[in-house]
Amino acid sequence: MKKLTAGVLILVLSSSFVVVQAQQTKPGDTLKTQEIEGVVVTALGIKREKKALGYASQEIKGDIISDAGQTNAVSALSGNVAGVQVTAPSTMGGSTRITMRGISSITGENRPLIIVDGVPLDNSNVNDIDTQRGAGGRDYGDASFDINPDDIESVTVLKGGPAAALYGSRAGNGAILYTTKSAKKGKTDVQFNTGVSFEEIYIRPKLQNQYGGGSQFTLPTQSINGTMYNIQEYQTDASWGPKYDPNLMYLPWYAFDPEFSADYLKPVPFVAPKNDVDSFFKTGVAYTNNLSVAKSFGDTNVRLSYTNTNISGIVPTSKIKKDNFSINLNSKLSDKLKADAVVNYVHTEGFNRPEVGYGDNSVAQKFYQFGQRNLDFVKLMDYKLADGSQRTWNRTSWDNAAPKYSDNPYWTIFENTSADNRHRFFGNAGLTYNIDKHFYITGKVYADLYSQNISSRVAVGSQAISNYTLEKRNVSEFNYEGRAHYNNNFGDFSLNAFAGFNIRDNKMSWLRGTTVGGLIIPGLYNLNNGIENSLATNYDSHSSVKSVFGSVSLGYKDMLFVEGTGRNDWFSMLNDDQFYPSVTGSFVFSKVLNADWLSFGKIRAGWSNIALGTDPYNRLTYTEIGLPFNGSPQYSNPNTSNDPNIKPELKVTQEIGIEASLFKNRVSLDFTYYDTKSKDLIIALPIDPATGYLFKRINAGEMTNKGIEAMVNVVPIRNENFSWNLTWNFARNRNRLVNLYGDLQNYVLTNAPFRAQLVAQVGQAYGTILGTDFVYDGNGNKVVDENGFYKASDLKSLGSILPEYNMGFRNTLKYKSLSLSFLIDIQQGGKYFSTTHMWGMYSGMLEESALGGNREAGIVLAGVKEDGTQNDILLDAQTWGSTYYNTVDAQNVFDASYIKLRDVTIGYELPKSLIGNVFEGIRISAFARNVFAWNLANKGIDPENTSYGSGNIQGMEGGSLPSTRTFGFNVNFKF
C-alpha cells in the first residue's frame, strides 16, 4: 500500500506537470484564479476571503452529495475531504461515525460539531452501550440523518482548533458547516428532482456448503409411530453434522406439524438447501422526490423545498420514511435593515430497523455465527401455526417445538418488531442593521428541537421472554446571539473585526417504560399487559453556556494577514469559566513572487487553545433511586463519585500549511501539518470499593495527535468541449496516549460480547484491542501446547482501531453535456475484532471450517511443540473450531484496510432542441455507490461494517448484516 500511495502521488504530479505544459491557456483561467482567492463560509457563518485565512478548511459543493444519490449528508463526505474519516455501516439509516485529525478525548466527544445554516445541530446517538459494543440491539442512527442532501448548496469543513475556535468548547474537534440553497435576487427557479436506487447485499461472511447441522458425522435415529427415522439434532445450533449426501434421508425440522400435511413425517435428502441465506435478503429500494420553488419578489427572496424519501432495506419489513420541509427567506426591509430566516421541519419514521450484533433478534447472528447450514429459507417462511405458535428449526427436541436458542428468522422480522419516529424543527431567524458601509450589527436566534419515540416488541412464543418497551425522548437547544462587525481599509491596511455574545440553553429528557415477567395477552402491546407491574424510569438534564467572543483580522497589501480570536465561556456544569484564544496568519507569496507558472500561493500558520466541556451534573454526586425491593424503595450511591472541581479538557493545536495554484490554475495543492496536545482528560478512575464507589471522575492523562493533510487538484485537459479534473487527498494521523494517572496503563472503554477488550493504553494509539496473541519461539514459529492447541499469550495489544492513513482519488470528466465522475476511497491500517469469525469457526458455519470438504481427516496446526519439534498432534475438526473462542484472540482480529470504488456518477444534460421551451433544462444521471472493494483481510467482512454507533466504541464486530452496494438513477427538471 505504501507503494500504491507513492505511485498515485507521482502519477498526479508527473501527469500534471507534463500534460499541463502542453495545454494552451484559456480565457477562463483568470476566472479560476478568482475562485481560488474567492469567498468561503467560515465560523459563525461569516463569509471571508480565502487568501486571508490562516487555517485549514475545505469546501465541497452540494452537487457531489446529491449527484451520487446520497440519503445521508454526513456519510457522503467519505473520501472527499482530506483529514476526515467516516465510518458508515450499511445498516439501514444506521449510525455514521465521523472524526477529524484523530481522537483527542478518552471518554468525551470526539466528533466535529455539525452546523446547518448557523444552527448547531444535535447529533445524538441513542444506541445503548450493548448495541455499540456488538452485544445486540438496533441501530437507530444519528440525528444528523435529518439533514436533507437535496437542499445543500455547499459544505465547509473547518478541520482544527484554529478554524473552529470561535465556536468554543463544542468545536474542539473541528466543525462541518452545511449551507443550504436560497433564492437568488431577480431569478425564479423551479426544480423537480426524482430518483430511485436499488440496494443489494455485497460483502458477507463466506459460509461452508458441504456439512449440515449437528455435532456428529452421523444422524441420530428415532422410532415414531412404529417407524424408525433418521432425525437431526434440532436443538444444536451448529453445523458439525454429517456431510451432505442425497442418499441419506431424514426428517427435517418442518416434518412434525400435521397441519402441513405435505411435509408431515416425510423424509427428505440431507443436501445443501436450494434457498440459502442469501435468499432471505431482498433488494432494498429507495425513492426520493424533491420539489423546490425559488422566487424573488423585489427585495424579498424565498425558497420553498419539500423532499419525500422512502427506503426499504435489505431485511424484509424494514423501512424508513422521511419528509423534509424547508423555507429559506431573506428580505431587505429598508436601505439599512435586512431580515432573514430558515425554518426546517423533518419527520422521520422507521419500522423494524434490523437488530445488529450478538442479540436474540439479530438475524446476522443466526445466519453467520450459530445455525444449521441445511436450512431451506422457503420452508422457513411458514414460521407460524394456525394457533399463532412459532415454528422454528431450533426445536428443543423432535417432539418439543419450543425454541431452544433461536427463533425462526421470519418470526423475528414479522413478530419481534420495532418502530421509531422523530419530529424535528430547526432553523434560525435574524436581523442585520447596517449603520454605515463599514459597520453593521446582527442578532439571531438559532433553534433545534425534536421529540423521538421508540418502541420494541418481543412476541409471546419467542425464545426470549415476551416484552414491550416504550421510550420517549425530547431534546432542545436554543442559541441567542448578537454581533457587531466593523470592516474597513486604511491605505495599504485592511481591518476585519467583530465582537459578540452567545447564550446557549440545552434541555434533554427521556421516559422509558418496559413490561416485566412477560406479556399476558399475546399480541397486545401495552405497558399494562405485563405479568408483573411495568417498570418506568426517567431522566432530565438542563445545561447552559454563556459566552462572549471577538475577532480581529489585519491585512497588509492583500498579501499579509494576521488574525486573533478569543472566546470566554461560563459553564453551568463547571465551576470555572474558560478562555480560548487562537492566532493565525497567512502570507500570500504570489503577490511578491512574480512568476508565470505561479497563479496563487499562500503560507499559513495557526495556534489555538480550546477547552472541551463535560456533561451536565458531573460536578456533584447524587444519590441514585433503585428498583423497589419487596415494595420498599432503594437508595444508594452511584458507581461514580464526581469531583466538584472538575475542569474541562484542554486541547492545544499548532498547524502550518501551504496553498498554491500553478500553471494557470491547472495544478493546485494544499498541504497542512498539525500537532495537537490534549490534557486534563476526564476519566472515571477505578478506586477501592471500600470508599463506597467503584470509580472517581478526575482530570488525568495526556494525548497527542500529529499528522499531515494533503490535497492535489490537476486539470490535465480543459477546452471548450472537454475537461478532465483529478483530485487527490491524503491524511495521516499519529495518535498516542502519553499517560493516564499514576501507574495506570490501561483504561477499559468496553468489552466485546465475549473475549476482547477495547482500551486506551499508555504509549499506544487510542482504541487498542486487548486480547491474547500467539506464543512464538525464537525462530518465529507458533507454539502449540500438549493438546495441540495454540498457546495463548497474556493479554496484550493486538493493534488499534485507528488507521495509518486515508486517501481519496476523484476523477471528473466532462464532454459537452455529458459528465462522468468516480471516487476511489482508500484506508490503510487499523484493526477490528470479529465475533462473527470467532463463533462462525466455533460452530462450523464459515467456509474455512469445512477444511476443504475433508473434516473427517482432522487437522494438525502449523507450528512447533514446546520442545521445538514440529507439531504432529491431530485435532478433530470440531475441537479445532472450538479453539477460535477459548485460546488465541488474535485469530479473530483483522486488518481494517480497504480500497473501494466509493461512487460512480454519469450525467447528461438533454439538448434544448429535444426538450423544447417547456423546460429550462433536464438532467439525467445514473449512479452507483460502494461498487467494489479490494484489499480486505477478511473477504467476508467489510471493515466499515464493524460499527454500531457514532461514539468512541468502534471496531467491535458483534454480528453485522452484509454490506451493500447501491445502483440508481435520477432525473432533474428545471422549469
Q: Which of 22-36, 495-509, 588-602 has the lowest mean pLDDT?
A: 22-36
Indicate if the pLDDT at residue 27 is higher than 80: no
DSSP-assigned states of every residue in 496-563: EEEEEEEEEEEEEEEEEEEEEEEESSTT---GGGEEEEEEEEEEEEEEEEEEEEEEEEEEETTTEEEE
Q: Is 461 exposed, middle or buried (0-12, 13-18, 19+ CB in 10 A)?
A: buried
How many other C-beta atoms are found inside a 10 Å radius of the C-beta of residue 831? 24
Q: Are 121 and 115 in contact (CB under 8 A)?
A: yes
Q: Is the pTM of this model over 0.85?
A: yes
Instruction: Say how far apart CA 305 and CA 591 lie, in whole Å.
Output: 44
Which helix (H) or strand (E) is 878 found in, with range?
A: helix 877-886
Indicate if the pLDDT at residue 35 is higher than 60: no
Per the structure block, which three cell numbers stand in for 925?
444521471
Indicate if the pLDDT at residue 701 is higher than 60: yes
Q: Are 217 and 243 in contact (CB under 8 A)?
A: yes
Instruction: Say how far apart CA 446 and CA 113 lie, in whole Å.
Output: 15
The β-bridge relationship of strands 57-61 and 956-957 is unpaired
Indicate if the pLDDT at residue 31 is higher than 60: no
pLDDT tens for residues 397-450? Answer: 999 999 999 999 999 999 999 999 999 999 999 999 999 999 999 999 999 999
Percent with pLDDT over 90 in the chain: 76
Which helix (H) or strand (E) is 605 found in, with range?
A: strand 598-612
| 3-state helix vs strand vs coil in the chain, percent to 5 | 15, 50, 35
How many other C-beta atoms are found inside a 10 Å radius of the C-beta of residue 916? 7
Indicate if the pLDDT at residue 1 is higher than 50: no
How many other C-beta atoms are found inside a 10 Å radius of the C-beta of residue 760? 26
Q: Are 962 and 201 in contact (CB under 8 A)?
A: yes
pLDDT-based confidence at residue 91 (cuts at 50, 70, 90): low
pLDDT tens for residues 98-121? Answer: 999 999 999 988 999 999 999 999
Secondary structure (3-state) at 739: strand
Instruction: Say how far apart CA 932 and CA 10 lie, in whole Å.
Output: 24
Secondary structure (3-state) at 787: coil
pLDDT-based confidence at residue 12 (cuts at 50, 70, 90): very low
Which residue reads 418439543 in cell numbers? 400
Residue 30 pLDDT? 38
Q: Are 142 and 74 in contact (CB under 8 A)?
A: yes
Per the structure block, which three cell numbers stand in for 374?
441445511
Residue 760: which of 752, 774, 750, 773 has the closest Cα? 750
Which helix (H) or strand (E) is 305 found in, with range?
A: strand 300-312
pLDDT tens for residues 742-760? Answer: 999 999 999 999 999 999 9
Looking at the DSSP bridge assignments, the partners of residue 396 are: none
Indicate if the pLDDT at residue 556 is higher than 60: yes
φ/ψ of 395, rounded to 5, equals -70, 150
Q: Is 571 exposed, middle or buried (0-12, 13-18, 19+ CB in 10 A)?
A: buried
- Return the axis-axis angle of helices 877-886 and 835-842, rounded to nearest 10°: 150
Instruction: Say how far apart CA 229 and CA 345 lie, in whole Å.
Output: 63
Each residue of 231-270: b (16+ CB within 10 Å) or e? bbbbbbbbbbbbebeeebebbbbbbbbeeeeebeeeebeb
Residue 240: which of 859, 877, 858 has the closest Cα? 877
Nearby residues of 491 by Cβ (< 8 Å), 6 or more positions away:
none
Secondary structure (3-state) at 908: strand
How many other C-beta atoms are found inside a 10 Å radius of the C-beta of residue 363? 24
pLDDT tens for residues 373-400? Answer: 999 999 999 999 999 999 999 999 999 9
Residue 150: which of 248, 69, 59 has the closest Cα? 69
Residue 37 pLDDT? 56
pLDDT tens for residues 612-628? Answer: 777 787 778 888 887 77
Higher pLDDT, 12 or 467: 467
- 45-65 mean pLDDT: 84
